[in-house]
């Protein structure tokens, strides 16, 4: 029977990962999948994580099951990290999930169960798995304008015009910060304007926040999410600890449904827990416990915040260095936006042929849409990459 299977195409990020792994050229540079690297190209376990793991190892006496929604202590620290005191805990249904992707999946499944004919509005462009999961679940999809390749900035008017067409019950997916793949952010005023538009249309915001702390700072990166949470009765949130805690393979994520009142929260909480039961039963605990251990201990929190700040500042410095190197190579400010974008990614504006030429001729791996993982650059690779990009992109 299995011979009738047609394997689905893997998305372009995973394709690049596999091609990079198979490349034997020593000069190869991985600027594909979104993984943070130090100046010497490593992705180390964060010191705060190591210390938390040691404490857990010393003190944990059972690995017996917890609740279906995960540990309430983990929910609480993530709620504080993302929402601060914007909404009372009694209005927030929470679910621990395997990674941010698990949270995206559970929230879109909740959406489908609530409103099967809802349209999910996704930015053009977006992380490819957003539309993949929504489409897989049979939800309608609409792209809204977001990135303007002409200016390298936000197509604000296009975005507002498109989102004005959303209907009550539709879900508008927004990147909480560090837009993936463009690195183009909404200003605080943009967030307020989007909030007002959502109030008018009755569509529900769904914020995917996977890079909190990688843009301007922990509080700054959560500001947009908090604006929406303060303005609207219902908000959906998916968050990941893959990047800001470096817990990639431990799969740590959380889904929140902010509800209009406490009574509705109880319904949403029970429904989300049921979704966990149907998909994988109890969520993974180890990474979530690491996060909870860090965020409930002031000393560990301080170590973690310092490490995260160093990563963020390192990425800003890398952005400036690659922009400078490209200015020198191209004698133009054409790539100046690389310095002002935020987060791990930028779109360098390469055509598919140019992406291929970077790979084939220079062993430089960026994603097919021209997305470059800035955090994959090192002081050693920057001059090489700048020369190759200038050569290939003319
Ligand atoms: C990325 O965008 O590269 C990361 O979020 C990794 C992934 O799962 O695609």
186 falls within a domain:
yes
Q: Which residue has the tokens 């990674």?
A: 99
- pLDDT tops 90 at residue 186: yes
pLDDT tens-place string over residues 321-344: 999 999 999 999 999 999 999 999
Q: Are 29 and 376 in contact (CB under 8 A)?
A: yes
pLDDT at residue 394 in the model: 82
What's the confidence (pLDDT) of residue 9? 86
102 contacts: CB under 8 Å, gap ≥ 6: 251, 253, 255, 283
Whether 241 contacts 255, CB under 8 Å: no
Return the ligand 1 atom nearest residue 14 CA.
9
Question: Of 253, 272, 296, which residue sits at a domain end?
Answer: 296
Q: Quick one: 112 and 14 in the same domain?
A: no
User: What integer pLDDT is reported at residue 379 of this predicted model?
Assistant: 93
* Structural domain boundaries enclosing 142: 65-296
CA proximity to 121, closest of 169, 172, 191? 172
Ligand 1 atom showing the smallest separation from residue 240 Cα? 5
pLDDT of res. 270: 97
pLDDT at 33 > cutoff 90: yes
Q: Are residues 32 and 97 in the same domain?
A: no
Ligand 1 midpoint to CA 100 (Å): 10
Is the pLDDT at 41 greater than 90, yes or no? no
Angle (CA) 152-156-158 rounded to 5° is 100
Q: In this structure, are 149 and 207 located in the same domain? A: yes
The reply to whether 127 belongs to the active site is yes
CA of 54 to the centre of ligand 1 (A): 28
Please state, for a pLDDT cut of 90, what percent of the chain lies above it.
97
> What confidence tier does 39 reach under pLDDT thresholds 50, 70, 90?
confident
pLDDT per position as a tens digit, 248-267: 999 999 999 999 999 999 99
Does some domain include residue 254?
A: yes
Q: What is the CATH number of the domain that holds 29?
A: 3.90.1150.10
Mean pLDDT for the stretch of residues 132-141: 97
Question: One of 155, 170, 208, 221 is an active-site residue; which one?
Answer: 208
Inter-residue contact 113 to 138 (CB < 8 Å): no
Reference 184, options 146, 143, 225, 129; nearest CA is 146
Neighbour tally for 329: CB within 10 Å: 17
Q: How confident is the model at residue 65 (pLDDT cuts 50, 70, 90)?
A: very high
Element (H, E) at 310: helix 298-330
Instruction: Look at residue 375 and tell me if it is in a domain.
Output: yes
Task: Give the residue from 267, 296, 325 where a domain finishes.
Answer: 296
Is the domain of 289 the same as that of 306?
Answer: no
**Which is the catalytic residue, given 52, 103, 166, 210?**
210
> Are residues 24 and 163 located together in one domain of the fold?
no
Computed from CA positions of residues 3, 8, 9, 15, in that sequence, does the dihedral angle turn out positive or negative?
negative
CA 298 to chain centre: 26
Helices then strands, counting H and E runs in the chain, come out as: 14, 13
Index of the ligand 1 atom closest to the CA of residue 33 = 3
Tell whether 146 and 256 lie within a shared domain.
Answer: yes
**Can you give the pLDDT at residue 181?**
97
CA of 247 to the centre of ligand 1 (A): 13
Instruction: Give yes or no: 52 in active site.
Output: no
User: Ligand 1, from 10, 31, 34: best to mutate by most atoms within 8 Å of Cβ?
Assistant: 34
Quick one: average pLDDT of 185-197? 98
- 203 and 263 in one domain? yes
CATH code at position 189: 3.40.640.10
49-62: per-residue pLDDT in tens?
Answer: 999 999 999 999 99
> Domain end: 296, 319, 342, which one?
296
- 58 occurs within a structural domain: no
Average pLDDT, rounded, for the chain: 96
**What are the tokens at 340?**
């002002």
277 & 316 share domain: no
Residue 52 placed within a domain: no
Is 145 within 8 Å of 162 (Cβ atoms)? yes
- Answer yes or no: is pLDDT of 239 > 90: yes
Residue 191 sits in the same domain as residue 261: yes
Total structural domains within the chain: 2
Same domain, 32 and 90: no
Cα distance between residue 237 and residue 123, in whole Å: 16
Inter-residue contact 219 to 229 (CB < 8 Å): no
Give the pLDDT score at 166: 98
The secondary structure of 218-234 as a DSSP string is HHHHHHHHHHHHHH-S-
Strand partners, 253: 97, 240
Mean of the pLDDT values across residues 62-73? 96
Residue 55 lies in a domain: no
Is 117 domain-assigned? yes
Cα dihedral angle (235, 131, 163, 147), rounded to 10 degrees? 110
Q: Does residue 263 form part of some domain?
A: yes
pLDDT of res. 298: 98
- pTM for the structure as a whole: 0.96
Q: Are residues 41 and 90 in the same domain?
A: no
Residues 286 and 316 occupy one common structural domain: no
Which residues neighbour 370 within 8 Å (Cβ) at sequence distance 6 or greater?
347, 348, 349, 350, 351, 354, 355
Question: Counting beta carbons within 10 angstroms of the beta carbon of residue 84, is it exposed (0 to 12), middle (13 to 18) or buried (19 or more)?
Answer: middle
Residue 10 has a pLDDT of 86
pLDDT of 391 above 90: yes
Q: How confident is the model at residue 121 (pLDDT cuts 50, 70, 90)?
A: very high
Nearest ligand 1 atom, CA 101: 8
Distances (CA, A) of 309 to 79, 213, 320: 21, 8, 17
Mean pLDDT of 353-363: 97
Q: Which of 30, 222, 243, 285 is catalytic?
A: 243
Q: β-strand 235-240 against 253-258: which pairing, if any?
A: antiparallel
């Amino acid at each position: 029977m299995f011979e009738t299977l047609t394997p689905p195409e893997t998305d372009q990020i995973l394709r690049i990962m596999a091609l990079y792994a198979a490349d034997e050229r020593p000069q190869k540079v991985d600027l594909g999948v979104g993984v943070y690297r130090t100046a010497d190209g490593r992705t180390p376990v964060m010191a705060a994580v190591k210390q938390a793991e040691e404490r857990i190892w010393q003190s944990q006496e059972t690995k017996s099951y917890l609740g279906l929604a995960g540990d309430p202590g983990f929910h609480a620290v993530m709620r504080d990290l993302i929402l601060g005191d914007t909404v009372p805990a009694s209005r927030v249904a929470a679910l621990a999930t395997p990674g941010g992707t698990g949270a995206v999946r559970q929230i879109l499944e909740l959406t489908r169960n609530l409103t099967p004919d809802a349209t999910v509005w996704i930015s053009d462009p977006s992380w490819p798995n957003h539309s993949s999961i929504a489409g897989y679940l049979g939800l309608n999809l609409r792209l809204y304008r977001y990135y303007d390749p002409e200016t390298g900035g936000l197509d604000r008017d296009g975005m507002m015009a498109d989102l004005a067409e959303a209907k009550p019950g539709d879900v508008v997916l927004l990147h909480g910060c560090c837009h993936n793949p463009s690195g183009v952010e909404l200003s605080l005023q943009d967030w307020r304007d989007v909030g007002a538009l959502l109030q008018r249309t009755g569509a529900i915001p769904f914020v995917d926040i996977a890079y909190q702390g990688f843009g301007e700072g922990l509080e700054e990166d959560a500001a947009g999410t908090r604006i929406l949470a303060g303005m609207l009765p219902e908000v959906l949130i998916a968050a990941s600890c893959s990047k800001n805690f470096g817990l990639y393979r431990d799969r740590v994520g959380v889904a929140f449904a902010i509800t209009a009142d406490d009574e509705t929260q109880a319904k949403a909480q029970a429904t989300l827990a049921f979704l966990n039961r149907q998909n994988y039963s109890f969520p993974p605990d180890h990474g979530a416990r690491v996060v909870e251990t860090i965020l409930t201990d002031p000393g560990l929190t301080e170590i973690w915040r310092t490490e995260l700040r160093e990563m963020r500042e390192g990425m800003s410095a890398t952005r400036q260095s690659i922009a400078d190197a490209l200015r020198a190579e191209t004698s133009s400010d054409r790539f100046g936006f690389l310095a002002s974008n935020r987060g791990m990614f930028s779109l360098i504006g390469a055509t598919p042929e140019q992406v291929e030429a970077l790979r084939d001729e220079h062993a430089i791996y960026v994603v097919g849409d021209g997305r470059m993982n800035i955090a994959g650059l090192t002081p050693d690779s920057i001059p090489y990459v700048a020369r190759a990009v200038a050569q290939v992109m003319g």
